[in-house]
Each structure stands twice: as structure tokens, then as C-alpha cells.
Structure 1
Amino acid sequence: MTTEGVTTSATLLGEPLPVELMNTVTLDRGRTHDALDGDAGATAWLRAVAHRLGVEAAVEADQMDEDMVRPVAGALRALRDALRHLAAEATDDPRPAATAPELARGEAIATLNALAQAWPELVWPADGQPSRAYRGPGTAADVAVQFIAHQAVDLFTGADRDRLRPCLAPNCPLFFVKNHARREWCSPACGNRVRVARHYRRHHPAPQS
């Protein structure tokens, strides 16, 4: 998917950034595709979401070259796996784990907490309005991961946790935040696939044994 001139193979749905990170895994004909596979994939994803990181974390896409992202690529994938595990628990997700099936709950929580090192600071220029900016130790890539982890703590402890949903369309491993009452799927494409499958079943009933 192309965002702000940057291409990533992940599906970006405009969800909160922790959910976008969860959704870096897709299924194609039963095979799992990881958009964060390798340093190049992690770099492409961080560059694709950098315009959203820049609002509060002062992270820009041109700071996210592969050399900078390489040291944090493993942490980004570990955070993604932890978030998917915790999201599955929060939503009673019936789907098999698409990543890290052996990950334990305590390990997932510890991973999230260890990475959520960003903190908010007051920014108040003499000729402007006060705002909040997140800081953290390390490079811009470190801060990007820390900021997403910080947002994930807010996600799991705030109102959006009760609106978090697994997409139960066939072969979809994505999550979404149910932001209006009639939303049932992560995207219109998944909704269309469900309707097509239902239509097929109505017109092609399974043979009686």
C-alpha cells in the first residue's frame, strides 16, 4: 500500500497505530505474509506511517532509512506479536494465531511494557499554543517504536479496548476498532467477500451425505 509516497506491503486502514502494527500480517491462500519481514519491510512500514508519528513524536519519514531502522526492526516485530496476542485475548479471537503462537501472556505484557518508554513533554512556544510531544531514549526509529508501544498501553486500558474486534471474514487475520454500530469487518473488501461467500452457500448447498 502506498501512503504519502511510500510503499509498504501492509494493509493500512486508518486504524490507531498499534492496530495498524497488528495488521502487518496477512494471509494469501493459507500462507502468512509478514510485511515486517526483514529490515527493508520494517523500514517501509515505518516510513509509511511516519506522517502520523510526526504529529506527536516528531518523527519524519526521511529519518527512517534502513540503517536507522535495522537496530529496532526486531523490537518492532516483537511488539507486533505482543500486541496481536493481547488483542486476541481482549477480543476472544477464535482465529489461530498468525504470529508467535508460542508467546505467553506474561511475555507479551512484559514486551509491551519494556518498549513503552516514550513520555509526553509540554511544548509551548512564546508565539504559539501549548502542545504535547513525545520523547524517548535513542534514535528517531527507537522513539517511533516506543511511541507506538505507549499508544498500545492507552489502547488496552482505554475505551477502544471494548471496540477492538478481530475481522472474521474468511482468511483475514486483521483487527479493527469498531467505530460505528454497523461496522462488522475490517474493510469493505472483507465485507464483500463475506457476502459473496454467503450468496454462494445459498445457491450451492452442501450435498447431503
Structure 2
Amino acid sequence: MADLIDGGAPILGEPLPLELGNTAYAVRGRPRDGLQTAEHLAAWLRDVRTRLELRLTDADLLAVTDDDAVSGRELRDAIRLLAVAAAAGQSADPGAVETLNRHARKTPRWHELRIAPEPLVTVGTAGRPVAAVLAMIAEEAMHLFAGPLRLEVCACQGPGCVLHFVRDTPRREWCSPGCGNRARAARHYAKVRKP
């Protein structure tokens, strides 16, 4: 996959919908878009493809289009709105819900049993594989924001961070140890600067 650019959006091990939402991130407080181009979407899909139920080949990634990138950004933005609402304990934005629903039903897909060489369940699609993956992520987002984990979706409290995560321990406040370190350093700096 040397033909693809390096990713850039952080991959934190969160559920895939939040990983997609986190492709709108910040570096030193400055907003960044990890899905600016088709190449960025392809790089992100490459980085998460081991976690996808539908297998994406290198050819699938090289065939990502500008329209796929537009769809990816639209889905990402809807997921971010839902994550912000969940983290704040507020009602979901109806427009974001409709966008999520529209993406989930875009591409028909089904499960198939393969026997040789080992029994394996695979996912088939009548559409383009990248569109099917985005539809699957939309469906996963539905389960995330309608299930018990929605109560654990949090916004990172790190200075300048705009990422979301699922709280896995009661005291977790940051998306990553790096954000936690920056927050502690900022608190320490504020203490020692006071006259």
C-alpha cells in the first residue's frame, strides 16, 4: 500500500464510529480534517481495516473516490454531533440521526458462510465495498448511540482536544495518556505561575 499517503487522524482503539468521528481532530489546538481527500479516507480505512467486518482489498482502497470522501465526512460530522450530544447528556440532533439512517441503508449487505479452507462468516455486498463499510459504520453508530455505551461516551478534557471516547474506567477524563499528561502539565504550570 505504498501508493497511499500516511494517515494522520489518531487511532485510539475506540469503537469504529468514534474513530471515524475523531478524524476531525486538533493539533496544538488547531482543527485538522483527517478526511480532506479521497486519499485521506483510503489511508484511514487502511489503518482500521483489520477491525472491519467487510474485508477491503488494496484495490478497494486505491479505488476510493472523492464522492466516498464526501460521504465519509458527512457521516463523520453526524457521528460527531451525536457524540457531543451523548457526552453532554442531551437529545440527539434529528438531522444527524437522519444522516446516520440514510448512510446505514445506502448499501445492501449480507453475511455468507464459507467452508473452505476453514469455516468463516464473510460479508457480501451488492455495492462498492467502501460504501458498504461506511454503511456498516453508520449501523454500528446506531447501536452505540442507542445502547448502554452512549452513557459512557465522553469528550476529552485535555486542553485543546476535540476527541471523544468511551469511558472504560470511572475516573477516565482523557482520550489518551498524552492528553492526560498535557492536562496535568497545564495545571502544574498554572500553579507555579501564580504570584
- TM interval, short-chain normalised: 0.7 to 0.9
Contact 2:49/2:55 (CA < 8 Å) preserved in 1? no
TM-score, normalised on structure 1? 0.80
Instruction: Give the alignment partner of residue 69 of structure 2, picking from 73, 81, 90.
Output: 73
TM-score for both structures, normalised by structure 2: 0.85
Instruction: Answer yes or no: is 1:176 the counterpart of 2:165.
Output: yes
Residue 19 of structure 2 aligns with which residue?
20
2:154 corresponds in structure 1 to 165
Match of 2:186 in 1: 197
Q: Which AA in structure 1 matches 2:44?
A: W
Who is 1:97 aligned against? none
The structural deviation recorded for 1:126 is 7.3
Does the 8 Å CA contact 1:51/1:60 hold for their aligned counterparts? no
Residue ranges of structure 1 left out of the alignment (5+ in a row):
94-103
Aligned to 2:50: 51
Tell me the SS of whatever aligns to 2:65. Answer: helix
Distance in 2 (alpha carbons) for counterparts of 1:150 and 1:119: 12
- Are residues 1:109 and 2:105 paired? no
Work out the percentage of aligned pairs sharing the same amino acid.
38
RMSD: 2.4
**How many matched pairs?**
189
1:189 alignment partner AA: G
**Does structure 1 retain, via aligned residues, the 8 Å contact 2:38–2:64?**
no
Q: Which of 80, 90, 94 in structure 2 is aligned with 1:84? A: 80
Could you tell me whether the CA contact under 8 Å between 1:90 and 1:161 is conserved in 2? yes
Give secondary structure in 2 for the equivalent of 1:165. strand
Conservation of the 8 A alpha-carbon contact between 1:119 and 1:135: yes
* Alpha-carbon separation, structure 2, partners of 1:127 and 1:37: 40
| Partners of 1:115 and 1:129 in 2: CA distance | 30
Structure 1 pair 46–127 and aligned structure 2 pair: CA distance change class (3 A):
closer
